[in-house]
Amino acid sequence: MGVHQYFKSLNDLEKLIRCPGKFKYQEHNVAAHSFKVTKIAQYLGTVEEYHGSEVNWKDLYEKALNHDYPEIFTGDIKTPVKYASGELNMLFMEVEETMTSRFIEEEFPEQYQEIYKRRLKEGKDETLEGQILSVADKIDLLYESFGEIQKRNPEPLFFEIYEMSLVTIKKFSHLACVQDFLGNILSDMLKERFIPRTELMEITESIMDKEI
């Protein structure tokens, strides 16, 4: 019934919680995740450009912004299931594409349908922009899992996600932006410390002892 259905569907992305079925100290929704991935991709593109690569910014933003939109149709299916059988995964992707196409044909004016079919396609291809998206997606996942580990979530899953994300990022270490991330940003993340109780005691005592 028109683009209103598309605008309205953005609200559903806010109600789609990532990694369902596990206790998390902080929950993230797909809309906020997509925002963060696009912001991270923006930084990674900036680094690439600085190191001499040519970045197609329009493409990069489109890929990052839209990369999880089809979850509107399919919901959040657990990763192990998705990859449990190659056959299932292939069928699953077919269904996803069919549902996305059908939605576009039903809701968008004809003149914009081709544009949106291209935009809502899986963007993680071999282009520089596709590679940056793959990295940005995993960096946000790394931060999400690090956030849980840092708050001491006892669920081993978040450790596995952390590991898997880092392994994927490293696969792109031929990119200048990945070298920048691994060399400068990741190390700062790992330096984040928990303020230990002993320090609390010391600070308290030092405040109490100070003459004023």
**Binders of a copy of itself in range 179-208 (CB under 8 A):** 182, 184-186, 188-195, 197, 200-201, 203-204, 207-208
Q: Using CB under 8 A, which residues numbered 12 to 51 contact a copy of itself?
A: 12-17, 20-26, 28-29, 31-32, 34-36, 38-40, 42-43, 46-47, 50
Q: Name the amino acid, one letter, at 113.
A: Q
Q: Which long-range contacts (CB under 8 A, 24 or more apart) does 114-119 make?
A: 119/62, 119/66
Residue 159 CA to residue 157 CA, distance in Å, equals 5
CA-based radius of gyration for the chain: 21
Q: Using CB under 8 A, which residues numbered 79 to 138 contact a copy of itself?
A: 80-81, 84-85, 87-88, 91-92, 94-96, 98-99, 109, 111-112, 115, 119
Q: Does 152 bind a copy of itself (CB under 8 A)?
A: yes
> Which residues lie below 8 Å from residue 36, measured CB to CB, with a gap of 6+?
140, 143
Q: Name the amino acid, one letter, at 143.
A: Y
In a 3-state reduction of DSSP, which class is residue 29? strand
Q: Does 154 bind a copy of itself (CB under 8 A)?
A: yes
Query: How many residues of this chain interact with a copy of itself, rule: CB under 8 A?
Result: 107
Q: Which of 1, 52, 126, 198 binds a copy of itself (CB under 8 A)?
A: 1
Binding mask 52-71 for a copy of itself (x = CB under 8 A): -----xx--xx--xx----x
Q: Does 11 bind a copy of itself (CB under 8 A)?
A: yes
Question: Is the separation of the CB atoms in 204 and 198 below 8 Å?
Answer: no
Residue 50: both structure tokens together: 């600085």
Q: Which of 105, 118, 171, 202 binds a copy of itself (CB under 8 A)?
A: 171
